[in-house]
Amino acid sequence: MIALAVLALLLGVLLILVEAHAPTAGVLSGVSALLIAAGVWLLFVAGGAETVALPVAIGTGAVGLGLTAVAGRKALAARRAPVRGGAQSLVGRGATVTSWSGSQGQVHADGGLWRARIEFGYDTDPAPAAGETVVVSAVRGLTLAVRRPEPWEEPL
């Protein structure tokens, strides 16, 4: 029975390691918490401490499942969060025009110079001038699609 308990504990720890490298939003962690609780119960029963085996196993399982629920919720919330890094994080942010000619030009955004094209908002108005602030509406490759800021938008 001790060998089965040790096997359950090792399998539980192994599943936690697998969860760390292949996130399943807590599915494998929940199974591992139950395996560890079963292993703890088997160890106490094999050692002759039947009176404390069940409370300790239930407590271990409850703590493991509670931690799994919290971590799973955080993982799912992180998946729904907006992008905070890379080129896609520029969408909705301001950029300063450095030079412009026709429907395309160059803007300074996020510490770098980017090629830019007019998305909309300059149909009847003149093209943006150097120093003017525009809003990035999309990123297509290495080119930013920009538009004139709306009056209700915060100063960028």
Same domain, 141 and 119: yes
Q: Are strands 94-101 and 143-147 parallel, antiparallel or unpaired?
A: unpaired
The domain boundary, picked from 80, 99, 127, lies at 80
Secondary structure of 23-68 in HEC code, one letter for each residue: CCCCHHHHHHHHHHHHHHHHHHHHCCCHHHHHHHHHHHHHHHHHHH
The domain boundary, picked from 80, 95, 122, lies at 80
Rounded Cα distance between 8 and 33, Å, is 10
Host domain of residue 34: 2-80
The domain boundary, picked from 32, 48, 80, lies at 80
52, two tokens: 């404390």
Compute the half-sphere exposure of residue 139: CA atoms within 13 Å on the CB side of its CA: 14
What would the DSSP string read from start to end of 123-156?
Answer: SSSPPPPTT-EEEEEEEETTEEEEEPPPTTSPP-
92 occurs within a structural domain = yes
Query: CATH number of the domain that 123 lies in?
Result: 2.40.50.140
Same domain, 53 and 104: no
Q: CA dihedral defined by 69, 82, 113, 116, rounded to 10 degrees? A: 150
73 occurs within a structural domain = yes
Rounded Cα distance between 70 and 64, Å, is 10
Same domain, 6 and 71: yes
Same domain, 93 and 71: no
For the entire predicted model, the pTM comes to 0.55
Rounded Cα distance between 134 and 143, Å, is 14
153 occurs within a structural domain = no
pLDDT tens, position by position, for the chain (156 residues)?
A: 889 999 999 999 999 899 888 878 788 989 999 999 999 999 999 888 888 899 999 999 999 999 989 988 888 888 888 767 777 888 888 999 999 988 889 999 988 999 999 876 555 567 888 999 999 999 998 899 998 888 887 765
Number of domains in the chain: 2
Same domain, 99 and 76: no
CB 128 within 8 Å of CB 100: yes
Same domain, 62 and 128: no
